[in-house]
Amino acid sequence: MSLSHAYGTPPPRDHAARLLGRALDLGNDLLDTAALYGFGANEELIGEALGHRRREFTLASKCGMQGVDGKRVIDGRPETLRRTLEDSLRRLRTDVIDLYYLHRWDKKVPIEESVGALADMVREGKVRAIGLSEVSAATLRRAHAVHPIAAVQNEYSPWSRNVELGVLDASQELGTALVAFSPLARGFLAGAIRSADQLAEGDIRRGMPRFQGDNLAANLTLLGKFEALAAEAGCTPAQLSLAWVLARGDHVVAIPGTTSLDHLEQNKRAVTVDAGLLARIDALFTPEAVAGPRYPAATEAEIDTETWPSAGEDR
């Protein structure tokens, strides 16, 4: 996503292509994109840069949320999903998408109807497996009753743990991979953000409550303690955050995004963290300790993930 969308000005296209190629060279074999990212630009980038290496990676993309006339639109109607798929296949320069997610559940359309359309795509051979994004355990179960759900993609990091309210266990029970997006807390747990002034115009984090005012100040206190734990473990904070996520279950997959070749290589280097240190991270990042909801109120209303009852908001 960060190569084309949401985090300020994207890097030059030739740099993005080099980074994608290097990711494959390092053994990263899952690439995650969406029709939304750059309103198609990210899919085009992957198609152009990696079309000749298509057999080297699992290709994941998403439908149900895309750009229409310059605006982000959630639309889960079957006819829209089918049209989005055809556009994505063309941009990606492929005849099949390995894992196709419903990017957001359009609450105006029964989940069974949207998943049914995705199941038709599987039967036609244009999609190999179906995923969901930003959904609750209850919605996952409803969808899984229509067609096996191979993966559910929700935000998961030490400071975003709402999947522990249901999806983490439900996905394991159903044999569904839990794909953790933003496992570095949108760069925060990598130590990248110390002030809101660092965020470029158009960066979506400028509108996220956790990166604002008193919330940011409180979260920076947590970050300082987390960085001390990373130093104790002899690794970077980013590596420690990834190790924590990957320790949550054998079915958990992390997809860290980056525009930096150095960070790409750092993220790939595995670290071993003992159970005692992981428990200390758990104790540091309790839902009550993290200041501010993940999203502004309008975005909160669009998603379907569980919330922490004691906080009354999505953490």
Active site residues: 37
Contacts of 277 (CB under 8 A, 6+ apart): 229, 232, 233
From CA 170, how far away is CA 240, in angstroms rounded? 25
**Full DSSP string of 221-237:** HHHHHHHHHHHHHTS-H
CA distance 167 to 264: 28
Distance CA(83)–CA(60), nearest Å, equals 17
Cβ atoms of residues 139 and 105 within 8 Å: yes
| 94 Cα distance to chain centroid | 23
Task: Please give the Cα distance from 110 to 107 (Å, whole number).
Answer: 7
Residue 285, helix vs strand vs coil: coil
DSSP bridge pairs for 60 = 32, 99
Distance CA 76, CA 104 (A): 8
